[in-house]
Amino acid sequence: MNDVSVSPFAGGAAYVQGRFVPMAQANISILDWGFTRSDVTYDVVHVKHGGFFRLGDHLDRFAGSMLKRRLAPAEDRVRIEEILHRCVALAGLRDAYVAMLCARGRPRVGGSRKLSDCENHFMAYAIPWIDVLTPEVQERGGHLWIASVPRVPDASFDPTVKNYMWGDLTTGLMEAQDEGFDTAVLCDAQGLLTEGPGFNVFVVKDGKVSTPAHGSLGGITKRSVLELCAMEGIAAAVEDIPRAALEDADEVFLATTAGGVMPISRVGRRIMGNDRPGPLSTRLKDVYWRKHTEGWHSTPVRYELATV
């Protein structure tokens, strides 16, 4: 017998084709260029303790990505923000992973290759919190593999436009899992550190924190880490980082919306910090989450929008 007290949005809520639906009912046409050509941009913001973290920054980045990809949905920024609030409210989530997407759409004229023949469309969803690395892995420190496949060059596709073209990143992840590692990071063809599947990477050497200057997304969590370093009096820089510097680092940590600051204890076959998260990485992780509880960059979710 079905429990009528269970909300149909318990597994998450989505906005697709102009209406709100339970996550299990969210779908798009298999002819949509967002699917067939990865002609889509997206962004992800998290909700913690009932508040969006840096919602305005994520909306800014999403708008910039859409502009660069010449995508223009019917919904304006005010409407998009309201939709995100309503997805979280419908799902009744206090901690959530919230995504916004804009896809090219399906050509109105069969067989057309003209971008103008497609009606761009906006989608969004909110699901229970997820982590790129599980809490258990974060506790012992992630094991990071340096992939053999190079990152797609910046000149081929702008990495500051958040996208689903993960062919190189997924290949690196396959390598990592084949070798028994948790995740992977990629270098470019010149041997400079870039990013991994869904995260920015930081290295720590002699008390200084560094993160790659190119080949990676302008992460919102990355920005937060740099702000926290300034607050804590920790030297930090955005600069080119050779692979050798990653392999010789005192500490390494990752940064992402889906997980925050995530310490690493192994890079390749090298074990760091007695195979545990390093002290500076742990300090930044603790400060990052403490600032969340203090309401840093928080926008309260409008739970009153929980109506269909």
Does residue 110 lie in a domain region?
A: yes
E-strand spans in the chain?
13-16, 19-22, 40-48, 51-53, 96-103, 121-128, 142-146, 183-185, 200-205, 208-212, 236-239, 251-256, 260-267, 270-271, 298-300
Which residues partner with 238 through β-bridges? 211
Last residue within a domain, chosen from 84, 113, 130: 130
Q: Which amino acid is at 242?
A: P
Q: Based on the number of CB atoms within 10 Å of its own CB, is 171 exposed (0-12), middle (13-18) or buried (19 or more)?
A: middle
- Supply the pLDDT for residue 144: 98
Identify the band that residue 1 occupies on the pLDDT scale cut at 50, 70 and 90. very low
- Supply the pLDDT for residue 2: 43
**Does the structure show a pLDDT above 60 at 150?**
yes
- Supply the pLDDT for residue 249: 98
Domain count, the chain: 2
| % of the chain exceeding 70 in pLDDT | 98
What confidence tens digit (pLDDT) does each residue in 197-255 have? 999 999 999 999 999 999 999 999 999 999 999 999 999 999 999 999 999 999 999 99
Q: How far apart, in Å, are the Cα atoms of 157 and each of 34, 116, 153, 217?
A: 16, 21, 7, 11
**Residues 47 and 145 grouped into a single domain:** no
Does residue 5 lie in a domain region?
A: no
What confidence tens digit (pLDDT) does each residue in 210-225 have? 999 999 999 999 999 9
What confidence tens digit (pLDDT) does each residue in 259-285 have? 999 999 999 999 998 999 999 999 999
Instruction: Return the HEC string of 154-170.
Output: CCCCCCCCCCCCCHHHH
| 55-68 and 77-91 helices, crossing angle to 10° | 130
- Supply the pLDDT for residue 308: 60
CATH classification of the domain holding 83: 3.30.470.10
- In angstroms, the CA 102 to CA 93 distance is 23
CA-based nearest residue to 128, from 80, 92, 102 = 92
- Count of alpha carbons within 13 angstroms of residue 28, beta-carbon side: 24
**Does the structure show a pLDDT above 70 at 5?**
no
- Supply the pLDDT for residue 4: 46
**Does the structure show a pLDDT above 90 at 24?**
yes
**Residues 169 and 71 grouped into a single domain:** no
User: Are the beta carbons of 103 and 32 closer than 8 angstroms?
Assistant: yes
Which residues partner with 70 through β-bridges? none
Does residue 283 lie in a domain region?
A: yes
Under DSSP, the state recorded for 77 is H
Pairing label, strands 208-212, 200-205: antiparallel
Does residue 299 lie in a domain region?
A: no
Identify the band that residue 110 occupies on the pLDDT scale cut at 50, 70 and 90. confident
**Residues 148 and 278 grouped into a single domain:** yes
**Residues 68 and 177 grouped into a single domain:** no
**Residues 113 and 215 grouped into a single domain:** no
Domain residues for 182? Answer: 135-293
**Residues 26 and 116 grouped into a single domain:** yes
What confidence tens digit (pLDDT) does each residue in 173-195 have? 999 999 999 999 999 999 999 99
Q: What mean pLDDT is predicted for residues 3-14?
A: 82
Last residue within a domain, chosen from 96, 130, 164: 130
- Supply the pLDDT for residue 6: 76
Under DSSP, the state recorded for 113 is -
- Supply the pLDDT for residue 109: 87
Q: What mean pLDDT is predicted for residues 49-77?
A: 98
Question: What does pTM read for this prediction?
Answer: 0.94
Instruction: Return the HEC string of 25-70.
Output: HCCCCCCCHHHHCCCEEEEEEEEECCEEECHHHHHHHHHHHHHHCC
